[in-house]
Amino acid sequence: MRYRLLGRSGLRVSELCLGTMTFGEEWQFGASIEQSRAIFDRFCAAGGTFVDTANVYTCGTSEKLVGELIASDRDHFVVSTKFSLTTRPDDQNGGGNHRKSMVQAVERSLRQLGTGYIDIYWLHAWDATTPLDEVMRGLDDLARSGKALYIGVSDTPAWVVSQANTVAELRGWSSFIGLQTEYNLIERTAERELLPMARAFELGVLAWAPLAGGVLTGKYTLAGDEVRFEDSLRGGRLNGDRLTLQSMQVAATVMAIATESGRAPAQVALNWLRQHSAAAIIPIISARTVTQIEQNLGCLGFTLDNDQMGRLDAVSEITLGFPHQFLASAPLQRALFGTNRDLLELPSRMTAINRP
């Protein structure tokens, strides 16, 4: 395991983050307490220090288990949790981005984690109703109080994150150091706005669902034009939108490269993610068994070659659309930079993802 600074901060985190949405069996597809402990121990043995949870995961059990697991050496771990999703569905203020929800959630998370501070506190999802200055001032208050050392944002449009960090910097408030987004070989739309935004603002990027809910591990197969799966909960309800003919073609390419390399498909999918983007992606890996976490950790032991990366890029390629393709077009580049475009050195923050 290697380590990196998260975004523009000085916080040092492991290059893989352990996701704990599977810690607890309340949601019917998670791991038992014993299995969760074994998964955590294996992650730590590999040098992992970065752990992610949320106040709603497995009805609060995830935070409680994480708190128990880190208790013997709390300061060694970088613990992140989130607020926004409701814990009281019949209460109008039981969730959301507003200050009341934020304060209630952070106090509950501190109790459940059994800690006096949270290393990174994430806005879980944008509610589109709370004023940005209320959100950022509220998070800044938590940072100044010491209850949250850093703040991050998840599942939020790029323009909202950009505005939020700009407002925070102008007013001297704490700004987001990290972004969480879904990103994997069958969900690459973050390349249109979110990843270029993160690069411009120097945000650390964590990719959730890096294996697309297991679609990229080979657990689903095609029967003619239909996707075959045995687990109706995980396959039908949670992965329904991911199980398409296109995603199965991507999965087949992952499987082929895994066979060639003598590696597990999960390791191939994770290493495409780690090698593909200049944004230095940190995958959030999760597991229900020790075998699964060991397979995920195995991605650290090798790299994909240029041919393999090219095949994965090609089979999963998306259209960036307007204005990206228009701005990258040769006629417009000549109009903007003249005939000496290739002689101009641009700072990395101005180089968009996938720019020719």
Burial class of 117 by CB neighbour count within 10 A (0 to 12, 13 to 18, 19+): middle
Q: Which residue has the tokens 């070659």?
A: 305
**250, 278 Cβ separation under 8 angstroms:** no
Catalytic-residue membership of 3: no
**101, 83 Cβ separation under 8 angstroms:** yes
Nearest to 154 by CA among 90, 224, 204, 228: 204
Nearest to 213 by CA among 63, 19, 17, 15: 19
From the list 57, 150, 183, 220, the catalytic residue is: 57
Backbone phi, psi, residue 278, to 5° = -75, -5
**DSSP for 183-252, written as a single string:** -BTTB-GGGTTHHHHHHHTT-EEEEESTTGGGGGGT--EEETTEEE-S-IIIIIIISGGG-SHHHHHHHH
**304, 276 Cβ separation under 8 angstroms:** no
**Active site residue ranges:** 57
